[in-house]
C-alpha cells in the first residue's frame, strides 16, 4: 500500500507540473517561431489603456485600427468586411471584420485562423480575446518567415463575438472567402492563465487530432472535453464554423476564471506563458492543416487524450467498443476461472462487487453533505471563490478517506482477489456500456480495465495467492487510472466551479477503487498504525473544510460579480437603482449607501436572481420607440413591420415578447432570425428578445407575425454603459472585493407597447 500511495503522489505531482504552460520565448527568438514576449508587446498595443471595447464602440474601432496598422506594417493588405448580421439569440449588430488572405502554392480550399477583437462592456478583454488577436498577429508575422503553405490561409479578426458570434456569422454568411474554407483554428479564452487546452473539434476530429498529435509541441486535450462541451450551453465562433461544415481545432485558456468578463481581464493578469502555449498550438496546427490534403478530409471521430502534455494517445472511436469488450473478456474470464477453481469464492466476489457500490455511494453522499455544510457556512456563495485550494483538498481527501476506510472494512469479508474481482467486474461492465453509448468518455474506464486484465494474467491463474508480486495486479491499473483521471479532476473545478465538487469526490473515489484490495494489508498493521492510517485523511478532510470556511470568499483579485443599473420606467415615470450581487447578498457598504429593498425575482418579468432596488432621482431621458409602420392579416396570422429606435441615441435597443405570445417569422433589417430555443428561453423566464447592439440613429426595422385576436404587451428597452452622474455614490460604495461583470453597469430606459393583432 505504501508503494501505491507513493506512486499516486508522484503521478499527481507530475500531472500538476506538466499542467503548466511553457515559458515565453524572448523577443530575440527566431523569426519563424512564435514568441510569447512579442505577443505581449502586441497585446499591449491593443488594450494597453485597459478600456473596454464592446462591438460598435469607438474604442473597438481604435482596436481595429491597431490591428489593421500592424498587419499593414508586415506587408499584408487587410480588408474590412462590414456587414449586418443576427445570431441565434435574437442579437444583431453591424460588425467590421478584418480579413487577410495568405495565398498558398495551390488554388482550392483553404484554412481559417480566427479570433475576435471585441470585449464585453465590463472589462478590457486582455485574454478574451485580446490574447487570441495577439496570437493571430504574431502568427501572421511568423508566417512571413516560413515557406509558403500548400493551401491558402485566411486570417479573420472578427467583431461581435460577445454580442452573439455575429462577426463569425457575417464571415460565413457573406464573405466570398468563406466558401473555400475547409478547416479552421479558433483561439478564444475564458481565463487569463494556465495551459492552452484543445477543447473542441469538428465532426472529423480523427483527422484533426492526428494533425495535432503530429505537430503539437505541448498538446493538452481530451475527447472528454469535446463531448462534455457539446452538452453545455456555451458557444464560441467555432460553433459557427462547425455549422458551416469546417473541420478544425478550438483552443482556449481557462485558468483564473474569476477574471473572466471583468475589469481584471487586463494586462496585469495576462500570462505570457499562456500566450506562448496558445501561440505554439495555433501556429503548428494552422501550418499542419494548410500543408495537409484538404481536398478529401476523412470523416470519423476519435477517442483521445494527452499524456503529460507530451504525447496524444488516440484511436478511432469505432474501435472503442471492441477494445472495451476485449478488456471485459480478459477480466471476466479470469474472474470466472478463479471462482470455478475456488481461488476465490462467489461470496467473496460478491462482497467485492458490493464494495465498489458502497464506496461510490458513500463518497457521493458524504460529498453532498460536505457541500451542503460549506454552503450553509457561507463558503460557497458563488461559483468560483478567491481561495479554492482548501475547499478542493477537502473533497479530494474525503474521497481518499472513503476508499481507505471501506477497503479496510470490507477486508473482513473478502480476500485480495475477492475485492479485485468484484471491483474490476464493475469497471469492465461500465467500460462496455460507456464505450457503447459515449465513446469519447470511455478511455478512463477501458484503459485501466485492459491493463488490469493483462497485469493479472501472471497471477490470477496460480493457486497460491501469495505469489510474489501479485500486488502488481492492483498497482499497475491503479497507476493507469491515476494518469487518465488526475488531469481531468484538476481541470474540473477550473472549468465548472463549485458545481463540480461532488462530482470530483465521486470520480476520484471511483478512480481509486483499484487501491481497495491493497487495504487488506493495513488490517495487519499494529494497533496505533492501524488506527492512524484511516483517521489521518478524515482529519485532513475536516481541517481543510474548516479552513475553507474561515478563508475569505472574495478578494480584490477574485471579487464577487456585482452589476449596478439605473432604470427609468418611462410608463410610470419612476426611476430606481438596481444592484445585482452574484451571491444574492448585499455588502454592508452598499446597504448603507441608500435604502435598498430585496427583490427575489427582479424588477422585470424575465428577471432571474436576486436584485436590490432603491428609489433614484429622475433623469430626463426619452424613452425608446417601437412604431408600427404597417400591418396585415392573412391565414390566421397578423403581420407587422415596426421601427425600433432609441430616441436618446443609446447603442443597444431591444424588444421583448412575453411567453406564449406566438411571435414568429421575425426579420430584422430584412434578415431572418431563427426561432428561440427552449434552452435560450429558460435564461429569460420564457420571454423572447430581439436586440440590436449597434442601433443607428434612424433605428432598425423588425418584421414579425402574431396570432390574430390575441393582444400582446411587449417591453421596449434601450441601454448604454455606465450610470448617470448621480450614481457616483454607488460606484464609490461598491467594495473592493466586488466588480462589474459581462454587460457591466448600465443605464436602462423602458416602456411597454400594446400590440392589438
Among candidate residues 532, 550, 568, the one where a domain is terminated? 550
User: What's the pLDDT score for residue 416?
Assistant: 87
* Domain match, 693 and 626 both: yes
User: What's the pLDDT score for residue 23?
Assistant: 96
Burial (0-12, 13-18, 19+ Cβ within 10 Å), 6: exposed
Which parts of 216-291 fold into alpha helices (H)?
223-230, 237-243, 272-290
* Domain match, 106 and 164 both: yes
CATH number at residue 188: 3.40.630.10
Rounded percentage of the chain residues whose pLDDT exceeds 70: 97
Average pLDDT for 7-31:
95
Report if residue 3 sits inside a domain.
no
Q: Name the pLDDT band for 142 (thresholds 50, 70, 90).
A: very high
Report if residue 5 sits inside a domain.
no
Report if residue 350 sits inside a domain.
yes
Among candidate residues 258, 286, 308, the one where a domain is terminated? 308
- Average model confidence (pLDDT) for the chain? 94
Report if residue 14 sits inside a domain.
no
Average pLDDT for 334-357:
90
- The total number of structural domains in the chain stands at 3
With CA atoms as reference, report the closest residue to 364 among 262, 464, 506, 246.
506
Tell me which of 333-342, 561-570, 742-751 is least confident.
Answer: 333-342
* Domain match, 545 and 568 both: no
**Set of cell numbers at residue 573:** 415615470
pLDDT at position 578 over 90: yes
User: What's the pLDDT score for residue 413?
Assistant: 83
User: What's the pLDDT score for residue 467?
Assistant: 60
Give residues with Cβ within 8 angstroms of 531, minimum separation 6. Answer: none
pLDDT at position 580 over 90: yes
User: What's the pLDDT score for residue 16?
Assistant: 94
Write out the H or E segment, with its range, that includes residue 684: none
Give residues with Cβ within 8 angstroms of 63, minimum separation 6. Answer: 46, 47, 53, 117, 118, 133
* Domain match, 399 and 417 both: yes
Among candidate residues 493, 527, 550, the one where a domain is terminated? 550
* Domain match, 119 and 238 both: yes
* Domain match, 304 and 365 both: no
The 10s digit of each residue's pLDDT in 119-133 is 999 999 999 999 999
The 10s digit of each residue's pLDDT in 220-250 is 999 999 888 877 777 899 999 999 999 999 9
Q: Determine how many CB atoms are found less than 10 A away from the CB of residue 350.
A: 16
Domain that holds residue 709: 560-757
pLDDT at position 422 over 90: yes
**Set of cell numbers at residue 139:** 502568427
* Domain match, 565 and 421 both: no
Report if residue 9 sits inside a domain.
no
**Set of cell numbers at residue 555:** 478578494
Do 440 and 317 contact (CB within 8 A), yes or no? Answer: yes
Q: Name the pLDDT band for 529 (thresholds 50, 70, 90).
A: low
* Domain match, 239 and 367 both: no
The HSE-up count of residue 398 (CA atoms within 13 Å, CB side) is: 29
Average pLDDT for 541-555:
96
Rounded percentage of the chain residues whose pLDDT exceeds 90: 85
Amino acid at each position: 500500500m505504501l508503494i501505491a500511495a507513493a506512486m499516486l503522489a508522484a503521478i499527481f505531482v507530475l500531472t500538476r507540473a506538466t499542467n503548466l504552460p511553457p515559458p515565453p520565448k524572448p523577443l530575440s527568438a527566431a523569426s519563424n517561431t512564435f514568441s510569447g514576449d512579442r505577443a505581449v508587446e502586441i497585446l499591449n498595443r491593443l488594450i494597453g489603456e485597459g478600456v473596454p471595447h464592446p462591438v460598435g464602440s469607438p474604442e473597438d474601432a481604435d482596436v481595429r485600427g491597431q490591428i489593421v496598422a500592424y498587419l499593414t506594417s508586415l506587408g499584408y493588405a487587410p480588408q474590412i468586411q462590414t456587414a449586418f448580421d443576427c445570431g441565434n439569440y435574437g442579437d444583431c449588430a453591424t460588425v467590421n471584420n478584418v480579413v487577410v488572405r495568405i495565398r498558398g502554392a495551390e488554388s482550392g480550399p483553404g484554412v481559417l485562423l480566427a479570433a475576435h477583437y471585441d470585449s464585453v462592456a465590463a472589462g478590457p478583454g486582455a485574454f478574451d480575446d485580446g490574447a487570441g488577436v495577439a496570437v493571430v498577429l504574431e502568427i501572421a508575422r511568423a508566417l512571413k518567415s516560413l515557406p509558403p503553405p500548400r493551401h491558402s490561409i485566411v486570417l479573420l479578426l472578427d467583431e461581435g463575438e460577445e454580442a452573439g458570434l455575429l462577426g463569425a456569422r457575417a464571415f460565413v454568411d457573406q464573405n466570398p472567402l468563406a466558401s473555400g474554407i475547409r478547416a479552421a483554428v479558433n483561439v478564444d479564452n475564458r481565463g487569463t492563465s494556465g495551459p492552452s487546452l484543445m477543447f473542441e473539434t469538428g465532426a472529423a476530429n480523427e483527422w484533426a487530432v492526428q494533425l495535432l498529435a503530429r505537430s503539437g509541441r505541448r498538446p493538452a486535450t481530451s475527447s472528454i472535453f469535446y463531448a462534455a462541451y457539446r452538452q453545455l450551453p456555451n458557444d464560441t465562433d467555432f460553433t459557427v464554423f462547425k455549422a458551416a461544415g469546417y473541420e478544425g481545432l478550438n483552443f482556449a485558456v481557462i485558468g483564473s476564471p474569476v477574471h473572466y468578463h471583468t475589469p481584471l481581464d487586463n494586462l496585469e493578469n495576462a500570462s505570457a506563458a499562456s500566450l506562448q502555449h496558445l501561440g505554439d498550438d495555433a501556429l503548428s496546427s494552422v501550418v499542419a492543416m494548410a500543408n495537409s490534403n484538404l481536398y478529401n478530409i476523412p470523416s470519423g471521430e476519435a477517442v483521445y487524450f494527452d499524456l503529460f502534455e507530451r504525447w496524444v494517445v488516440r484511436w478511432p472511436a469505432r474501435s472503442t467498443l471492441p477494445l472495451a469488450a476485449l478488456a471485459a473478456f480478459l477480466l471476466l474470464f479470469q474472474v470466472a476461472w478463479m471462482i470455478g477453481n475456488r481461488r476465490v469464492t462467489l461470496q467473496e466476489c460478491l462482497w467485492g462487487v458490493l464494495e465498489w457500490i458502497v464506496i461510490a455511494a458513500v463518497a457521493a453522499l458524504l460529498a453532498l453533505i460536505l457541500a451542503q455544510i460549506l454552503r450553509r457556512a457561507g463558503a460557497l456563495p458563488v461559483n468560483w471563490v478567491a481561495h479554492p485550494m482548501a475547499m478542493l483538498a477537502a473533497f479530494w481527501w474525503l474521497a481518499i478517506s472513503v476508499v481507505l476506510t471501506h477497503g479496510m472494512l470490507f477486508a473482513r469479508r473478502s480476500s485480495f482477489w475477492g475485492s479485485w474481482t468484484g471491483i474490476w467486474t464493475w469497471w469492465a461492465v461500465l467500460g462496455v456500456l460507456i464505450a457503447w453509448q459515449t465513446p469519447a468518455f470511455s478511455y478512463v474506464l477501458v484503459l485501466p480495465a485492459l491493463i488490469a486484465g493483462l497485469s493479472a494474467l501472471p497471477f490470477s491463474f496460480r493457486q497460491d495467492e501469495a505469489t510474489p508480486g501479485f500486488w502488481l495486479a492492483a498497482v499497475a491499473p491503479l497507476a493507469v487510472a491515476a494518469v487518465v483521471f488526475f488531469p481531468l479532476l484538476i481541470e474540473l473545478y477550473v472549468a465548472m466551479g463549485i458545481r463540480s465538487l461532488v462530482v470530483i469526490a465521486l470520480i476520484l473515489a471511483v478512480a481509486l477503487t483499484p487501491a481497495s484490495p491493497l487495504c487488506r494489508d493495513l488490517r495487519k498493521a499494529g494497533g496505533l498504525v492501524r488506527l492512524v492510517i484511516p483517521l489521518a485523511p478524515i482529519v485532513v478532510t475536516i481541517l481543510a473544510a474548516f479552513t475553507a470556511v474561515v478563508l475569505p470568499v472574495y478578494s480584490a483579485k477574485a471579487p464577487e460579480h456585482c452589476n449596478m443599473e439605473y432604470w427609468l420606467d418611462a410608463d410610470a415615470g419612476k426611476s430606481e437603482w438596481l444592484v445585482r450581487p452574484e451571491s444574492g447578498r448585499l455588502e454592508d457598504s452598499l446597504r448603507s449607501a441608500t435604502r435598498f429593498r430585496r427583490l427575489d425575482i427582479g424588477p422585470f418579468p424575465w428577471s432571474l436572481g436576486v436584485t436590490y432596488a432603491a428609489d433614484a432621482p429622475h433623469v430626463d431621458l426619452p424613452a425608446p420607440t417601437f412604431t408600427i409602420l404597417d400591418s396585415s392579416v392573412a391565414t390566421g396570422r397578423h403581420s407587422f413591420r415596426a421601427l425600433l429606435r432609441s430616441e436618446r441615441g443609446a447603442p443597444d435597443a431591444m424588444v421583448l415578447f412575453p411567453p406564449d405570445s406566438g411571435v414568429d417569422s421575425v426579420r430584422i433589417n430584412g434578415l431572418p432570425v431563427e426561432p428561440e430555443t427552449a434552452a435560450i428561453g429558460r435564461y429569460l423566464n420564457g420571454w423572447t428578445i430581439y436586440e440590436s447592439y449597434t442601433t443607428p440613429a434612424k433605428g432598425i426595422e423588425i418584421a414579425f407575425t402574431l396570432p390574430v385576436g390575441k393582444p400582446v404587451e411587449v417591453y421596449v428597452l434601450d441601454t448604454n454603459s455606465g450610470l448617470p452622474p448621480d450614481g457616483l455614490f454607488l460606484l464609490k460604495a461598491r467594495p473592493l472585493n466586488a466588480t462589474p461583470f459581462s454587460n457591466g453597469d448600465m443605464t436602462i430606459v423602458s416602456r411597454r407597447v400594446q400590440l392589438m393583432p
